[in-house]
Amino acid sequence: MTVSGSILDDPKHWLERAEEARSIADQLSDPDSRRMMLRIAEDYERWFCRCRERVRSRPAASSSPSRQTAPIIGRAPIRIGCRQRRSI
The SS3 of residue 76 is coil
**What are the tens digits of pLDDT across the range 9-68?**
889 999 999 999 999 999 999 999 999 999 999 999 999 999 998 888 888 754 454 444
Q: Looking at residue 1, what is its pLDDT?
A: 43
Position 44 scores a pLDDT of 95
Which residue, 28, 21, 32, 6, is CA-closest to 78?
21
pLDDT of residue 74: 46
Q: Is the pTM of this model over 0.75?
A: no
SS3 of the chain: helix, strand, coil, percent, to 5: 55, 0, 45
